Amino acid sequence: MADKTIREKRLTARRVFLDPSTPSSWTVARVVLIAFVVWYVADFFQNFLSSLKYLFFMIVLSIFFAYLIDPLVRVIRRPFKERNLDKLMPRWLAIIIAYVFVFTILGFGIANLAPIVTQQAKDLATNVPGYVSSVQGRLNELSERFQIRPETQTQINEKVTATIGEIGTIVTGFLLTVVSYAPWLILIPVLSFFFLKDVNLFRLLFLRMFPSGRWRARAESVLEDVNKTLRAYVRAQIFSCLLIGFVCTLGFYALEINYAILLGILAGTLEFIPLLGPLTIGSIAIVVSSVSVAPRTGLYVAIFLVVLRILQDYVFYPRIVREGIHLHPLLIILCVLAGEQVAGIPGVFISIPLVALATVIYRHVIEHRGARGVFAEWLEPTPPVEKASGESRVESGEPKVKS
């Protein structure tokens, strides 16, 4: 009886060992090895991409600058094209003329504003400790009036001091980051020049990566929508930054706030960061106006910024962006936070365009799915097509997409 039991146990163990559904030790080892390799490769690529984030950020800024300059290039070439005199004004020459015009205006503005902004920044940095003491003194007066316990008042003072210090650290870090990028910013016009000059060549190279037929047609449609989205986003953001900076400067001057030009430039710059940028400049402007002028002035500044934000978000920006980026505010906040965690300051600036491009691609996949699915439609045999439409435009030097 005992021998029979032992024999049955051995047969059962052999069946389990031979059962293909039961993982062997070698299978488990292979799974662990593959998981380790995947983890190692992912970590390597993460470090590799992290080391290239500044290069990627510079390329993105170059593309943005190219979108900004392209309308001016078209305006310069338009009279020559209407008279069939394209050879007298080639695209590269129009780009150089546009560069000279833009950088002349920028140089004139910087030469006149730089001394004022520098002096206001020095004055603000010098007066920050006095502003902190003023805020704490007013909080102490309020605590005495409302009979707040000393322990609670001490905690409030510490929180206020820490918050003001954090705001100063954020602004200082942002300015230092911009200054650290200054040597690399010289390369942005150079890269933008080649993006503008060879735009059709890059477009054609991208389309040739796809086989002729529905794949290439679909890729061209996606590229068209991506171009419209980026063009609308870049121009809307640049126009919004200029508008907010100009209006805030005038408003701060009208309210007799110190450092009006500095705060206006900061408002225009931070406008590029959705939601978080306006909140940051609003907090700074309200605190500075409250402690440097009067608490009532801080209230006026808050009302002014709220009205300006409502007009910007619901009147001006929808008219500017049109077919551009329309994302939910919660998604925008999450994108900005994720971009900051992944790539720091560069990630904050490029997170929204990247998510918008992903949204465009996803929308194309959904819209072209059809009853049989998008891949089934793509894999159908198609008759040969003519030469890609972009090839005939390479010689003319004009992009297909019209602004």
Sequence-distant (6+) residues with CB within 8 A of 218 are 210, 364, 368, 378
Helix (H) or strand (E) holding 292, with range, is: helix 276-292
In our burial notation (b when 16+ CB lie closer than 10 A, e otherwise), range 244-279 reads bbebbbebbeebebbbbbbbbbbbbbbbbbbeebbe
* Number of other residues whose CB lies within 10 A of the CB of residue 324: 19
Give pLDDT tens digits for 259-288.
899 899 989 988 887 777 888 888 888 888
**72-111 pLDDT tens trace:** 999 999 998 888 888 888 999 999 999 999 999 989 988 8
The per-residue pLDDT for 316 is: 80
Question: Residue 7 has what pLDDT?
Answer: 60
Whole-angstrom distance, CA of residue 182 vs CA of residue 188: 10
Identify the pLDDT of residue 379.
46
Q: Where do the structural domains in the chain lie, given as residue ranges?
A: 51-394
Distance, in Å, from the CA atom of 32 to the CA atom of 36, rounded to the nearest integer, reads 6
Q: Give me Rg for the CA atoms of the chain.
A: 30
Q: CA dihedral defined by 327, 331, 334, 336, rounded to 10 degrees? A: 0
Give me 3's structure tokens.
Answer: 């021998």
Q: Which parts of the chain register pLDDT below 50?
A: 16-22, 370-372, 374-375, 377-403
Residue with tokens 């009853």: 371
Contacts of residue 336, Cβ cutoff 8 Å, sequence gap at least 6: 273, 274, 275, 276, 348, 351, 352
CB 153 within 8 A of CB 140: yes
Q: How far apart are CA 217 and CA 249, in angstroms?
A: 48
| pTM recorded for the entire structure | 0.68
Neighbours of 110 (CB within 10 A): 11
Confidence at residue 10, expressed as pLDDT on a 0 to 100 scale: 58
Largest CA distance in the chain: 108
